[in-house]
Amino acid sequence: MWLPDLSGLLLVAPPLLAAITFHELAHGWVAYRLGDPTAKAAGRLSLNPLRHLDPVGTLVLVLTQAIGWARPVPVNPNYFRHPRRDMMWVGLAGPGANLLLALALALIYQSLAPLLPRTGPGGYLRLMLTLGVQINVGLAVFNLLPVPPLDGSRVLAGVLPADLARSYLRYEFAGFALLVLLIFTGVVGKIIFPLIFGLSRLLLGG
């Protein structure tokens, strides 16, 4: 019987939970600042990871250790003064938060790395910080792909002509199916993994 690598999950869980929490919180906070109280009313402007986890998405992540998802923050564009433009900013907020968190973790890593041993607790901390940078860069890059329902589709819809944007967003379900296909055939990995590891190495100082 196959079981997930629990030691690996314990190492990855803290940076992954932080990445998901800041990503979803950023979506809700920017929407709130732009006039939409939906996320705040739903209790999603929170640093509590449990408010952002999706049970099915979390289970899939544990079992596959490759793909999973959080519970999307509810956003109602009817509250926005400029719905298309404001949805674009809401879409950018999640990946932007992940890039800022990656930068912060990289700065911590570069400050502590000369002081930490490569084995024992110091080694685990070094590895956890490294994973934190990679996870946050990965979430940012992946979510900026212009495939519905990813954040990149909201950004692209904000710059397309209105009629074309509406047609584009109608295919969200087809986009999800396409995304799953691209992930499991390895196409997405070939496109974004070199970018993720390249940016991570740059932030971590080589």
Q: Kindly list the catalytic residues.
A: 24
**Angstrom distance (rounded) from CA 162 to CA 191:** 29
**Residue type for 144, please?**
L
Helices 83-112 & 151-159, crossing angle to 10 degrees?
130
Which value, in Å, is the radius of gyration of the alpha carbons in the chain? Answer: 18
160 Cα distance to chain centroid:
23
Q: Find out whether 76 and 38 touch, Cβ atoms under 8 Å.
A: yes
Residue 122: both structure tokens together: 């110091």
Widest Cα–Cα separation across the chain = 58
Peptide bond into 149 cis (omega under 30): yes
**Angstrom distance (rounded) from CA 15 to CA 25:** 15
Site of tokens 């999307």: 72
